[in-house]
Amino acid sequence: MKKDPISPPRHIAIIMDGNGRWAKQQGWPRIKGHERGAESVRAVVRGCREAGVEYLTLYAFSVENWIRPRDEIGGLMKLLRLFLENNEHELHENQIRLRVIGRLGDLPMLIQRRLKKVMAATASYTKGHLILALSYGGRAELVDAMRQIGHKIKDGSLDPDAIDDQTIVQHLYAPDVPDPDLMIRTSGEMRLSNFLLWQLSYAELYVTDVFWPDFREQHLYEAIEAYKARHRRFGDVE
């Protein structure tokens, strides 16, 4: 599919859904769906680079996912470690900065160290930003922001009457990252699942029935083309 390089979304956020159902259809264990889903991550990172998308945020592991079976969580953490080990060179080659949003301290120490190492090594890159939402929840992010704001009010460094939208933005996990222009959800589910609740206020939503393990560059380009065909009013009239 030919890609139109004009006016792509600056920031795309993706809910990568359907790994388990994809694996079930194949008669395979759920972890096989996650393994195939890692290939989709690589494809989408490449696709965003080709399409001129500056920021890509992937909902990789939610705060609710900790209730899943221990062996599945262990498998997911192993896949994350392998993804970092096998793909760090591409981040360097393409000068893509890796970032993480979420409660990083919830993750196994080995994963924390690996993430911090790669984030530090790519911190100066500006040609693209890959943001992984790990142990992330939109409500948890807002709770953490409110706690920070509350502490500042308590110690007298913040006047409650001075609080506005920007005050909250400044206390989110990645306050310098622009809000997503386009949110893609795979597998056909019609919900946000506690993802970027503040940041998605004005995002265009695109839902596809394609399961995440089958999602490739052409599906990304289709979502981008659909985005370009929409008229974003931000509350204004036609």
The average pLDDT across 224-230 equals: 95
For the cut 90, the answer to whether the pLDDT of residue 232 exceeds it is: no
The HSE-up count of residue 15 (CA atoms within 13 Å, CB side) is 27
Q: Is 87 left (phi over 0), alpha (psi -120 to 50) or beta?
A: alpha
Residue-level pLDDT at 130:
98
Q: Which residues contact 88 (CB under 8 A, 6 or more apart)?
A: 118, 121
* pLDDT at 236 > cutoff 70: no
Higher confidence at residue 192 or residue 6? Answer: 192
Residue 209: predicted pLDDT = 98
Residue 6 is predicted with a pLDDT of 55
One-letter amino acid at 55 equals: Y
pLDDT per residue as tens digits for the range 109-167: 999 999 999 999 999 999 999 999 999 999 999 999 999 999 999 999 999 999 999 99
| Two tokens, residue 93 | 């080659």
- Residue 218, domain extent: 11-139+180-228
State the Rg of the chain over Cα: 18
Selected catalytic residue, list 65, 94, 194, 214: 65
User: Which pLDDT band, with edges at 50, 70 and 90, does 7 fall under?
Assistant: confident
- Position 148, amino acid: Q
Confirm whether pTM is higher than 0.85: yes
Choose the catalytic residue: 4, 17, 176, 181.
17
pLDDT, tens only, 98-111:
999 999 999 999 99
Segments of 26-95 assigned E as strands? 55-62
50 in any annotated domain: yes
Instruction: Give the model confidence (pLDDT) of 49-105 as tens digits.
Output: 999 999 999 999 999 999 999 999 999 999 999 999 999 999 999 999 999 999 999
- With a CB cutoff of 8 Å and minimum separation 6, the contacts of 25 are none
Indicate the number of domains in the chain.
Answer: 1
Q: Assess whether pLDDT exceeds 50 at residue 4.
A: no
165 in a structural domain: no
Q: Residue 3 pLDDT > 90, yes or no?
A: no
17 is catalytic: yes
Here the tokens at position 125 are: 């890159």
Structural domain includes residue 31 = yes
In a domain, 29, yes or no: yes
Q: Does the annotation mark 86 as catalytic?
A: no
Residue 144 lies in a domain: no
Q: Which residue shows structure tokens 């933005």?
A: 169
Q: What CATH number corresponds to the domain at position 95?
A: 3.40.1180.10
C-alpha dihedral, 209 to 90 to 137 to 214, nearest 10°: 10
User: Does residue 78 form part of some domain?
Assistant: yes
> Domain for residue 92, yes or no?
yes
Residue 109 lies in a domain: yes
CB 175 within 8 A of CB 149: no
What per-residue confidence (pLDDT) applies to 208?
98
